[in-house]
Chain A
Amino acid sequence: MNMFGREIILSRRLAGSWLFALMFFALFATVCAIALGGQRGAMAPIANALLWLAMILSVLLAAGPAWQASMPSGFAEQLYLSGKSFAIFTAMKALTMWLTVILPLIALSYPLATMFGLESKAALGATLSLLVGSPAILAYAMVAGAATLRLAQGGVVIILISLPLLVPTLIFGLSFAQSFEVSGFNTDGLALLGISCLSVAASIPAIAAILQVIMEDG
């Protein structure tokens, strides 16, 4: 069994993190709709912002438990001595999280966007912006999750660390989502894609270094 297989088995057995994220995402959107009086005219202009906030918060909330779930004590040491790399482990974990936590959220975001009153092309723009921006959200959530792996109150700290770092992603994501209906996949989309690639490329070695430190500290 390889690392990807192990992570997939774990996420299937420990449905907590992805199911929790999906339920939070749906609940957040529903509560927002209720708070806005269910008026499509009031919801449509802020639908993109609501979906982005729902996505960011869902992923940040799932990040801590997802790390805890696959790193029992003593695991890092055995990984190190088995000659497997922390970077590959991190990449496999990120891929699994993207497939099991984020993909269901993206699938749900299109119907939610139409529920919020967006036309089909605008709803597609919202969904596409989340798809392109989600690797960046995941990258920051995973760095913060790894950094707080041994903290008892890690969950809140994950949000405190990642939210400010996610501001540029949020700005480009919303800008792309709003302009997609008129101009299709434009420079904002490219910028968002760039942010995602850069965040993933930087986060994997950063997380590998954090895991190394956690291991050395025991």
Chain B
Amino acid sequence: MDSGLDFRLTLDNCAITRGGRTLLSDLSLSLGPKDLIWITGDNGIGKSSILRLAAGILRPERGRVHYTKNDEAVHPSDIVALLAHDAGLHSALKISEELDFWSAGSSEVDALTDKLGLTDLLSQSIKTLSAGQKRRVAIARLIASTKPVWLLDEPLSALDAEGRDTLLTHVKMHTEAGGAAIIATHHVPDDLGANASILKLSVPA
């Protein structure tokens, strides 16, 4: 990522409905360089929906979501990368082919596959991987995307202790280098670091 980049992701008074039910309303949020937001709350409360909204995948029922890069409005794909529950990796392709398709031209891929312990698995097809290994492939794709805004949906699930450490280290490096992230999770770690905030979702009493 270009560390001098100025960017902003803004959710402005957004409401999300799902199947006719209002999941969230009046949600405003602004994310710029070095920001880290942890979203937490019970199952089904709308954590993933906020990430999909922020990624431009889900349209808000009301309100708007906008993206700027160096003060110019841009398409979400210019600044946002998403680590979703369903990675969209094809079971019949090899890890090397998937990374080549999604991250062609990225210079970081070799170093990343090494750090994520994927180097020996590159010629294996996705269907032979465990859930945690698939998650590592998706993480490699996310980091190699060199986008400033990372949206991570339950990123720590399926990962072993070493994988969690590697990911959290990368998130820390990313935000320190001027990137930003929103992490949706059940469990927020104790040591959040500077610039981190927590958004706790709950059902109104």
CA–CA, A218 to B59, complex, Å?
A: 11
Tell whether A81 pairs with B55 under 8 Å between CB atoms, given A1-B100, A74-B84.
yes
Main SS of the interface on chain B?
loop
Indicate which residue in B76, B86, B145 contacts A74 across the interface (CB closer than 8 Å).
Answer: B86
Complex interface: chain A residues within 8 A of B100 (CB): 1
A83 on interface, CB distance cutoff 8 Å: yes
Q: B91 at the A/B interface (Cβ < 8 Å)?
A: yes
Q: How many residues of A contact B (CB 8 A)?
A: 26
A72 interface neighbour in B56, B89, B101, B145, Cβ under 8 Å: B89
B1 at the interface (CB under 8 A from A): no
The answer on a CB contact under 8 Å between B57 and A1 is no
* CB neighbours of A83 from chain B (8 A): 75, 77-78
Which residues of B107-159 are within 8 A (CB) of A? 141, 145
* Majority DSSP secondary structure for residues of A touching B: helix
B45 close to chain A: CB less than 8 A:
no
Q: Cβ of B97 < 8 Å from any Cβ of A?
A: yes
Please name all residues of chain B whose beta carbon is closer than 8 Å to the beta carbon of A3 when the two chains form the complex. 101
A14: B residues at CB distance < 8 A: 92
Q: Knowing A1-B100, A81-B55 touch, does A74 contact B87 (C-beta < 8 A)?
A: yes
Asked if A216 contacts B97 (CB within 8 A), the reply is: no
6 contacts between A and B (CB under 8 A): A1-B104, A5-B101, A80-B56, A81-B57, A81-B82, A81-B145
Excluding A2-B101, A81-B80, 14 further A-B contacts by CB distance (< 8 Å) are: A1-B101, A5-B101, A9-B97, A10-B90, A10-B93, A72-B89, A74-B89, A75-B90, A77-B84, A77-B88, A78-B88, A80-B56, A215-B57, A216-B57
